[in-house]
Amino acid sequence: MAMSERGPRERMVFSAAQLIRRDGVASTGMREVAVHASAPRGSLQHYFPGGKEQLVNEAVGWAGRYAAGRVGRFLAALPEPTPSRLFAQMVRQWTDEYETAGFAGGCPVAAATVDCAESTGSTREAAAAAFAAWTGPVSEALVDMGVPRERAGALATLMISTLEGAILMARAERDVRALTTVAGELGPLLDSAVDKAL
């Protein structure tokens, strides 16, 4: 959330991600992005000659890298990491946001997928890349915790799928219930995948 003193270009990408996750891609205007980023409107065509499509794609890419980076920080915060604890942290990020800041925003990658998967090929690819960038570190983390390599990827996909779906339900219901529920139900399964021999 720290809008550090980066250049206007980065601020616009960041702001685009923020607005997209709130209103969706189609409902987010470029002028709106510039205003939100306190960036000059003229910079839009200068930094993003590819137009809205380019800006959206970069915002999605940013979101993917952000999610991937969070995984590392979650692990660093866990004294004894286990799969269920990692998942709990991932879920907690959302429950915390929803409880303190309201249910305004969802996942920007999900928004891009819903709005552009069929219409804009490059954005669909950006979303797929973002999911991959996110799944990778989660899978690696599971391996480090003792989950067999051949299973880790599948469990990472399961974790992210479940989280994304729970985010949707939580936003619709304006209640973190779905998030806390899936964290509790999925935890034991995740931990049971740890190879006890290690």
The residue ranges that bind its own copies (CB under 8 A) are: 22-27, 103-106, 109-111, 113-115, 117-119, 124, 127-128, 130-131, 154-155, 157-158, 160-166, 168-169, 171-174, 177-178, 181-182, 184-186, 188-189
Q: Pick one of 6, 35, 38, 46: the residue that binds DNA (CB under 7 A).
A: 46
Of these partners, its own copies, DNA, none, which one is at the site of residue 29 (CB under 5 to 8 Å by kind)?
A: DNA
Based on the shown chain and the rule CB under 7 A, indicate whether residue 42 belongs to the binding site for DNA: yes
Match 């004294």 to its residue by tokens. Answer: 79
- Residue matched to tokens 């709106």: 32
Give Dmax (Cα) for the chain. 60
Q: How many residues are present in the chain?
A: 198
Looking at 36-44, 117-125, 131-139, 174-182, which segment touches DNA (CB under 7 A)? 36-44
Q: Residue 173 CB: number of other CB atoms within 10 A?
A: 11
Considering only 10, 24, 30, 165, the residue that binds DNA (CB under 7 A) is: 30
Spacing of C-alpha 178 from chain mean position: 17
Token digits of residue 21: 């996750």
The answer to whether 182 touches 91, Cβ cutoff 8 Å, is yes
Question: Which residue's CB is nearer to its own copies, number 34 or number 176?
Answer: 176
Closest separation in Å from C-beta 8 to its own copies: 26
Give the angle subtended at the CA of 91 by the CAs of 88 and 92, to the nearest 5°: 80
Residue 167, both tokens: 């985010």
Q: How far is the CB of 182 from its own copies (least distance, A)?
A: 5
Residues near DNA, by CB under 7 A: 8, 27-32, 39-47, 51-53
